[in-house]
Structure 1
Amino acid sequence: MIAREFRGEAHTGPELFACWQELARSSPTPTEIRTEDPDGFDARVKLLQLGETQVSYAHCGSLWSARTERLIRDRDAELYKLSLPLQGHSVLVQSGRTAVAAPGQFVLASSSLPYEGGNTMAQGPSRIVQIRVPRGQLPLPARTVDRMLATPLPAKAGFGHLLHRFLTTLETDSGQYGPNDGVRLGMVLLDLCAGLLTHFAEDERALSPEAHRRQLFLRTQDFVRRNLGEPDLSPETVAAAHHISVRHLYRLFAEHDLAVGSWIRHQRLEHCRRDLEDPGQYHLPVQVFAARWGFSHPAAFSRAFRTAYGTAPREYRERLRAHYIRITA
């Protein structure tokens, strides 16, 4: 994964805004930008390249952009831009519609049609994450996607929630990925974007069979993560919740070199391990963590933990606690 950051330490005010104007004009989808306060303008952006898809995380003051017919004729990379305000509001005018997206709402734009948009500040600078997806990478017809331009799309449930969580986690953990992880992350991102748009287009038939299977896989994983604390969580309950056979579920996970039961157990153990490492929970008995993450029998939990990490859970925590006491004494 390729990550780049643009900050304003070398320039301030009008000089910094002039740099941003040049960046906007030289992008694959050039725009003209303006601000209400060029003298006090401040901004920074982090760019992540995930294969053919790009994600940007921007912190900036009031900023408005326009993509005109002339700029489209000059250069058009044929992108869809899916934006999510994290602080402040995003405004988009395109295809005869006006959308005002609040935090917790996505809004979609096309680089191939004229638009005008910007952000409104709340308390402090605006924070916006934007996904740029080549039009040909989405497994949906353009006419299906274009029906959702300049329309707020909720990000608090379903695929919107999955995508929101993926983007915020990606920003926090971007340093944990290597150069070869970008393409794989980009595929996951594309699947989530297609799922979000297909859901709101109410046209599941627009998905290719391959994309539909990938999205079903993501939905089953999300179900497992949300239900790890249920002792009766099993391949059978996961399959039943998604109205598929257990055999189908096994095949779905096998396509990703995973076994359903083993993956569920690994997720539970990882959560237990993180809780054991938390100094704020050192006072809790080990069996509390086992029960919290769906292990009904303490002895079975201890055996599984020892097999996975080479030590018993109590010994693992005592070693960490001793180290914590030494470094904080």
Structure 2
Amino acid sequence: MIETVFRTEDLPVADRADAWRERLSRAHMPVDVMCRPDSDFTVHQRVMRLGGTLVWPSASASHVIRRTPELIRSSDPEMINLSLITKGTVGFRMHGPDALYGPFDFRTNDSSHPWETVLGTRGEAVDAVTVDVPRARLPLSSDEIDRVIGHRLSGREGVGALLAAFLTTLADNARSFTAADEPRLETVLLDLLAALFANALDGMDSLPAESRRRTLALRIQAFIRDHLHDPDLTPAGIAAAHHISTSYLHRLFQDRETTVSGWIRHLRLERAREQLADPARSHVPVHLVAARAGFEHHPVFTRAFRAAYGMSPREYRRRALLQGDQRRYNH
């Protein structure tokens, strides 16, 4: 995936705030930027384009960004902006009184209304992952979007936690994705954004059926990963936890070209394989590694591992640790 990078450290201190204002105004929406004139102002921004959507992780010193009525009249790209705060505090004013945001809060605004954001209310640095998406790309009515914009949304639970995990994973692993991944990633991002807004409206029925289906599939996949250690994790139990039928659960997995049980087994084997190759866990008995990955019976684990990787778990651990030792020796 191609990233563009902006760093104020490459500029004279006196030019940094103006360069950041120009960057935001040109790439996102026209804004004003204010910072202390005596400050060594710094911003580091990476921008990833997923079709018509931008995702941009940033780390910045304390400053203020404003979108004024005059700027709106000059240009309105009809853009929605959502920021996941990961470090620091952010003050925000849009429709009502000032609000304070902290880590794993989502702050939302759009280009059609005035707002003011104070990044670093205590003078501290702020890290965030921000999304710019055209309003027309969300499968919600303009009225529904307006009812959510400007309100705090949580990234700690439910769909918000899924979206937060998706954004942080994307920001941390951008180089592992290719241009071919971008349409799929944009679809997932738009589905999660729409689901987050719909949840805030308490109206998932306002989403198109396909978006609801994909969002439910993502929630179920996250549930399975969180419960891999449970040997009683079964399709029937997963379906009951999500208030759907077992047959509908199996239909959700048709796109993966595997069964629900097959995907669970694959994830458990991958978790066990990672732990067997970890030098820090070399003292953990193989049967305990298997149990922690969710395999109740050690012989079943051994057979499945050999079928998947062509060797026993003990042999895989021996080879992986030996290769790790050789790499460290060569360096």
Question: Could you state the TM-score of these two structures normalised by the residue count of structure 1?
Answer: 0.94
Which residue in 1 is equivalent to 2:96? Answer: 96
Query: 2:41 matched to 1:41?
Result: yes
Which residue in 2 is equivalent to 1:304? Answer: 304
CA distance in 2, matches of 1:51, 1:310: 40
C-alpha offsets along residues 87-123 of structure 1, whole Å, 9 cap, x if unaligned? 1112222123532211121111011112121211558
Structure 2: where are the runs of 5+ without partners?
A: none
Residues 129 and 171 of structure 2 are in contact (CA less than 8 Å); yes or no, is this contact kept in structure 1? Answer: no
Residues 89 and 121 of structure 1 are in contact (CA less than 8 Å); yes or no, is this contact kept in structure 2? Answer: yes
Query: Shift of the alpha carbon at 1:16?
Result: 2.1
CA distance in 2, matches of 1:317, 1:123: 49
Secondary structure of residue in 2 paired with 1:4: strand
Which residue in 2 is equivalent to 1:244? Answer: 244
Which residue in 1 is equivalent to 2:131? Answer: 131
Equivalent pairs counted in the alignment come to 329
Which residue in 1 is equivalent to 2:259? Answer: 259
- Shift of the 136–257 alpha-carbon distance from structure 1 to 2, 3 Å rule, reads farther
The worse-fitting range, judged by mean Cα deviation, of 150-159 and 249-258 is: 249-258
CA distance in 1, matches of 2:37, 2:119: 13
CA distance in 2, matches of 1:157, 1:197: 14
- Shift of the 27–173 alpha-carbon distance from structure 1 to 2, 3 Å rule, reads closer
Residues 66 and 116 of structure 1 are in contact (CA less than 8 Å); yes or no, is this contact kept in structure 2? Answer: yes
CA distance in 2, matches of 1:74, 1:123: 31
Which residue in 2 is equivalent to 1:60? Answer: 60
Superposed CA RMSD: 1.7
CA distance in 2, matches of 1:247, 1:134: 36
- Shift of the 257–52 alpha-carbon distance from structure 1 to 2, 3 Å rule, reads farther
Which residue in 1 is equivalent to 2:113? Answer: 113
Residues 66 and 117 of structure 1 are in contact (CA less than 8 Å); yes or no, is this contact kept in structure 2? Answer: yes
The worse-fitting range, judged by mean Cα deviation, of 234-243 and 121-130 is: 121-130
Matched letter for residue 3 of structure 1: E
CA distance in 2, matches of 1:113, 1:276: 54
Identity fraction in percent = 37
Within 5 Å, give how 1:6-17 maps onto structure 2: 6-17=6-17
Residues 235 and 260 of structure 2 are in contact (CA less than 8 Å); yes or no, is this contact kept in structure 1? Answer: yes
The worse-fitting range, judged by mean Cα deviation, of 211-220 and 148-157 is: 148-157
- Shift of the 196–54 alpha-carbon distance from structure 1 to 2, 3 Å rule, reads same
Query: Shift of the alpha carbon at 1:216?
Result: 1.1
Residues 87 and 122 of structure 1 are in contact (CA less than 8 Å); yes or no, is this contact kept in structure 2? Answer: no
- Shift of the 286–12 alpha-carbon distance from structure 1 to 2, 3 Å rule, reads farther
Within 5 Å, give how 1:142-291 maps onto structure 2: 142-291=142-291
Query: Shift of the alpha carbon at 1:277?
Result: 1.4
Structure 1: where are the runs of 5+ without partners?
A: none
Secondary structure of residue in 1 paired with 2:10: coil
Matched letter for residue 107 of structure 1: R
- Shift of the 145–38 alpha-carbon distance from structure 1 to 2, 3 Å rule, reads farther
C-alpha offsets along residues 253-309 of structure 1, whole Å, 9 cap, x if unaligned? 113434211111111111111111111001111111110011111111112112222
- Shift of the 258–75 alpha-carbon distance from structure 1 to 2, 3 Å rule, reads farther
Which residue in 2 is equivalent to 1:292? Answer: 292
Query: Shift of the alpha carbon at 1:27?
Result: 2.8
Which residue in 1 is equivalent to 2:320? Answer: 320
Question: Could you state the TM-score of these two structures normalised by the residue count of structure 2?
Answer: 0.94
